[in-house]
Structure formats: C-alpha cells, structure tokens
C-alpha cells in the first residue's frame, strides 16, 4: 500500500482515491482491480472475478463511468443485440485527473490559510 506523509497523518493512496472521487468500498475494489489488470470486462465478468453482487457492480460501474474513470464500449453481437465492456481510462489521463484534483485542493487550502 502506497502512503503519503502529510504533517500529522499518513494518507494512503486508497484514501486519496476515495476522497478525490467520492468512492464507496465497491467502487474502490473495482477501480483497484482495473488498475491491477488494465483489462476490459463486462459487469458479469467483474461480478464473478471479484465475487460481488451483479447489481452492486453495475451501480459502481455507472458511478466510475460518470466520474470519467472508466470508459464504456458497446460490443454488437453477430445475431443482434449488444453488451458493454468497461476499461480504465488511459492511466496517464487518470493520473492527470488525480493531480488536477490535488492541485485544486491545494489552491483552495492556500486561499483558506491566507484568509486566517
């Protein structure tokens, strides 16, 4: 587990992700799986691999797509119909997104301290 020391407290990367993107436990578990595997999966595949309820995975996937962390791609079946596969946004773009949130937080913290 990667940790970041900040004054009186050490913050894990997981805590940073949870705070930055307002993630719940299932969201974080799915995100960590994508970061580890860098694959693309259906909701059912994730549900099976992570041993989580399909409805919970679906809800978390929607949240992660809304946060622009995951990308949804439609796959058409040869006989009609379609399904979705999900993958992690480009890792460099994801890192930029986290850094932007951190810089925004630092800017707000700086302004707050200046008003003291």
**DSSP string for 18-34:** HHHHT--HHHHHHHHHH
What is the average pLDDT score of the chain? 90
Domains, the chain, with CATH or none: 3-114 (1.10.10.10)
Structure-token pair, residue 63? 């949240």
- pLDDT of res. 4: 66
How many CB atoms lie under 10 A from the CB of residue 90? 10
Q: What is the pLDDT of residue 115?
A: 82
pLDDT digits (tens, 9 = 90+) for 44-85: 999 999 999 999 999 999 999 999 999 999 999 999 999 999
pLDDT at 6 over 90: no
pTM (predicted TM-score): 0.84
86-99 pLDDT, tens digit per residue, is 999 888 888 899 99
Structure tokens at 115: 């008003």
């Amino acid at each position: 587990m990667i940790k970041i020391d900040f004054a009186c407290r050490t913050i894990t990367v997981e805590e940073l992700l949870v705070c930055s993107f307002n993630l719940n436990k299932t969201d974080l578990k799915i995100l960590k799986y994508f970061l580890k595997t860098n694959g693309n999966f259906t909701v059912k595949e994730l549900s099976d691999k992570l041993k989580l309820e399909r409805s919970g995975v679906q809800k978390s996937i929607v949240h992660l797509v809304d946060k622009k962390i995951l990308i949804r791609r439609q796959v058409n079946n040869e006989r009609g119909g379609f399904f979705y596969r999900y993958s992690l946004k480009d890792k460099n773009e994801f890192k930029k997104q986290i850094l932007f949130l951190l810089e925004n937080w630092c800017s707000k913290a700086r302004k707050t301290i200046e008003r003291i």
